[in-house]
């Protein structure tokens, strides 16, 4: 309902992936973030791991700096990883996991991501949890699309606390390809995800949880996407 939609605080995020190449380019990007009005909307940004610490000190307007990944177990002998304990020490509150690039290039499984989500939540942090289908599934239609999304949500369904977890639906086929999901496609998929959560978690969770559109969003398509009731 529109009442429920009004109760869900809008959230906008930017994932910088493995960019920019030069540290000196960060100040301009951070300046843009600091110009954002965060009074009616949660704003977060995901710098690359090397740049997180720099950005934490420079983002001053209440936007969240959100690492793009974490490990599953804390500090210790985990070469190349970041722990949420280290993040908390930097006053970081959010972490993103499950991005399609992590799933594909680094073989992160649904089981591993469920372990990571529990670890993040147990530490008292919040999480952007990414899910989404590739082009072959999308071309088969909504049912095939939902089969992928359900598989990716099945192992975390008991942890979807609306105040601490945001689901980001990434139509993988629309990321950086120049193809965008239409607002209709996005709304239809988000509505189906919400319906699945209502049936498999609870009506309350389905009504409260925020489902972000995680495809290529820009100033042109953002108004239309954000006007959709389930986005």
Q: How many CB atoms lie within 10 A of CB 179?
A: 13
Q: Which position among 51, 99, 133, 190 bears the catalytic label?
A: 99
Examine the residue annotation and report whether 51 is marked as an active-site residue of this protein: no
- The pair phi, psi for residue 16, each rounded to 5°, is -85, -5
Interhelix angle 110-122/142-154, nearest 10 degrees: 50
Distance (Å, whole) CA 229 – CA 38: 21
Q: DSSP per residue over 65-95, as a string?
A: E--S---SS-SSS-TT---HHHHHHTT--EE
Distance (Å, whole) CA 217 – CA 37: 18
Q: Which position among 101, 133, 137, 170 bears the catalytic label?
A: 170
Examine the residue annotation and report whether 190 is marked as an active-site residue of this protein: no
Q: DSSP per residue over 112-175, as a string?
A: HHHHHHHHHHHTT-EEEEEE---HHHHHH-HHHHHHHHHHHHHTTGGG--TTTEEEEE--GGGS
Tell me which residues are annotated as active site. 99, 170
């Amino acid at each position: 309902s529109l009442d429920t939609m009004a109760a869900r605080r809008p959230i906008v995020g930017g994932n910088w992936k493995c960019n920019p190449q030069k540290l000196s380019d960060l100040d301009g990007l951070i300046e843009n973030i600091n110009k954002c009005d965060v009074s009616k909307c949660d704003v977060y940004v995901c710098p690359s791991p090397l740049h997180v610490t720099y950005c934490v000190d420079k983002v001053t307007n209440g936007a969240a700096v959100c690492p793009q990944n974490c490990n599953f177990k804390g500090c210790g002998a985990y070469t190349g990883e970041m722990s949420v304990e280290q993040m908390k020490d930097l006053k970081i509150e959010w972490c993103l996991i499950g991005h399609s690039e992590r799933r594909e290039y680094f073989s992160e499984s649904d089981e591993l991501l469920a372990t990571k989500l529990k670890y993040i939540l147990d530490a008292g942090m919040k999480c952007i949890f990414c899910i989404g289908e590739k082009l072959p599934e999308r071309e088969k239609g909504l049912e095939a699309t939902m089969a992928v999304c359900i598989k990716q949500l099945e192992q975390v369904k008991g942890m979807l606390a609306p105040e601490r977890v945001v689901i980001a639906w990434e139509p993988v086929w629309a990321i950086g390809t120049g193809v965008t999901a239409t607002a209709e496609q996005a709304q239809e998929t988000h509505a189906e995800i919400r319906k699945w959560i209502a049936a498999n978690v609870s009506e309350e969770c389905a009504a409260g949880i925020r489902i972000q559109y995680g495809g290529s969003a820009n100033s042109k398509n953002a108004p239309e996407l954000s006007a959709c009731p389930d986005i």
